Structure 1
Amino acid sequence: MSEMLRGIALSDWQARAKTFEYRGQTVCYWTAGQGEPLLLIHGFPTAAWDWHYLWDALAERYLVIACDMVGFGFSAKPQEYDYSLQDQADLQQALLAHLGVRRCHVLAHDYGDSVAQELLSRDLEGPQWLDSMCFLNGGLFPETHHPVLMQQMLLSPLGFFFGRLTSRPRLARSMRQVFGAETQPADVELEAFWQLIAHDNGPSVMHKLIRYIPERRVYRERWVSAMQQTEVPMRVIDGADDPVSGAHMVARYRELVPEADVVMLEDIGHYPQIEAPRQVLDAYLEFHDGLRASERSVAQAG
């Protein structure tokens, strides 16, 4: 499944982690490489390890930065905490400030797409600090998001109970539903996903993290407006077979976002960075090479 890109074992990934304090919580983060800063934002319910196939390849061209957001992965998962997408956007900006990064590119996935949409809105309001934005499969529009059964159960009045019932077999069934038919997760990947979720009693806060789904509806107009008005270059790279946010989400994106730049990955599901990392890397680098070519043309014309 790695498509010629070498991944990083979860134990090795954890060993590379650094930490900083955010609002009294310990947050794990990773950096590698040098060059233009590239912030990677992970999805629900997993963590920054989702980027491990792309990590070293991207570090050859960029200063790559990623963290496990509060409530995820190896970062703190406090029981009493006001989990929100707005707070996670604050966290991303706090991490960049901690590292002394003033401008960056963003590559986001799933839950991370919503965090990135808020960052795009803040950039539009000023000061400008985003150099580009790339979204992988995610709920950019609440009206096109189709939550899986596990998410629906967590959103129910019994979400706390269902969260605590989360187990490796339940997680595996949920993950297999959203991966492509020919790109199913390997057992080692399912085990890693489970370790990331189970760490520090993670299932006990999943019913709080899932509040991002109704939060998307609250901020829909703000975030869609930002995508329509921004001058930040954007691209969507989307696994077409994703039942949650696949081809149907992209159709809506094309309707609402002017001059939509989209790369569709056929037969790929919700986790393209794991299912088809080489295709994602190629599409992402093509996007950036196009930006540089455009910048050179402008400079020459000037």
Structure 2
Amino acid sequence: MGLAGIPLGDWRAQGSTFDFNGHAIRYWSAGSGEPLLLIHGFPTAAWDWHYLWQPLTARYRVMVCDMLGFGDSAKPRKHDYRILEQADLQEALLRHLDVHEPVHLLVHDYGNSVAQELLARHENGKFRLASCVFLNGGLFPETHRAVLSQKLLLSPLGGFFGRFFDRAKLAANFAKVFGPRTQPSSDELDAFWSLIAFNDGPKVMHRLIHYILDRREHRERWVGAMQKTRVPLRLIDGPVDPISGAHMVERYRELIPQPDTVMLEGIGHYPQTEAPEQVLAHYLAFRERLAPLAKRA
């Protein structure tokens, strides 16, 4: 029996708001125990985790926000969006929720880059990280295969293209990156689009896409942190993803010492919505393996 998701309307009703540098940020927090921070990807929002929310909050204290420029959070039109600021936002959320102990991360896509920055800060003694599990994302700029819409948004015509990005274009893009047997339903596409379209979201997509350049700029620092860290890492990946699928896992295994990787057969770029039961099982197995280490520490 599959996991019961949370309808978008119910999800939105459960959210709260806090201020980050003058911008209203929507966030969700539930459960108790060790803190687990979820970080979503581009171009969607925290609702990406709705299938996993209830089983995770039954075990941990779970937190997530719609990052600046995403979902139901503020989307300032002329803002210079950067991954480093989104990492600052995650730290601000933790302070707002009075979380001071080391944090576990479960992240996807754009969120992988935010997590890499937080890992680098951990290595510099400026953040306390307990573990990190990555889902599909561009951990290495040399393996990131951008789809056409991403290339267009990053081009000098990005602002023009973003204004014409609509539900039909979203559906066409998702059809390419989801697994062939795990395509999103019409209702799911409606929900994804509602979050993107809120507050004129398409008009800032060409600014949000700068994360691709951030990955190139910070590659050595971010990958270096992954190579030297003692923080437990795992990669759970949908290998049929054309953006960051099996080819990215191969690179991960080349670069990361003692790589812990899991590939989900037939799954694409959004494992947490395409195969939430599998993601949950592999995540919980990872955490169970860590439990004896935490007790000794």
TM-score (norm. length: structure 2): 0.98
Match of 2:95 among 90, 94, 97: 97
Shift of residue 243 of structure 1?
A: 0.5
Quick one: distance in 1 between partners of 2:126 and 2:169? 44
Quick one: distance in 1 between partners of 2:144 and 2:184? 22
Shift of residue 225 of structure 1?
A: 0.3
Unaligned runs of 5+ in 1: none
Quick one: distance in 1 between partners of 2:78 and 2:172? 29
* Secondary structure, aligned partner of 2:27: strand
Partner residue, 1:240? 239
Quick one: distance in 2 between partners of 1:168 and 1:105? 34
Quick one: distance in 2 between partners of 1:195 and 1:295? 41
* Secondary structure, aligned partner of 2:199: helix
* Secondary structure, aligned partner of 2:180: coil
Point out 4+ residue stretches in structure 1 off by more than 6 angstroms.
none
* Secondary structure, aligned partner of 1:160: helix
Deviations along 1:91-142, one digit per CA (max 9) or x if unpaired, are 0000001111112100000000000000000000004511101100000000
Quick one: distance in 2 between partners of 1:41 and 1:128? 16
Matches within 5 A, 1:109-188: 109-188=108-187
CA change 1:295–1:31 in 2 (3 A) is closer
Partner residue, 2:75? 77
Shift of residue 215 of structure 1?
A: 1.1
Amino acid at match of 1:177: K
* Secondary structure, aligned partner of 1:221: helix
Quick one: distance in 1 between partners of 2:206 and 2:72? 18
Quick one: distance in 1 between partners of 2:195 and 2:294? 40
Partner residue, 2:268? 269
**Sequence identity, in percent?**
61
Partner residue, 1:19? 17
- Whether the 8 Å contact between 2:118 and 2:127 is mirrored in structure 1 is no
CA change 1:128–1:203 in 2 (3 A) is closer
Shift of residue 159 of structure 1?
A: 0.2
Amino acid at match of 1:148: V
Partner residue, 1:41? 39
Partner residue, 2:205? 206
C-alpha RMSD over aligned residues? 0.9
TM-score (norm. length: structure 1): 0.96
Partner residue, 2:55? 57
Partner residue, 2:256? 257
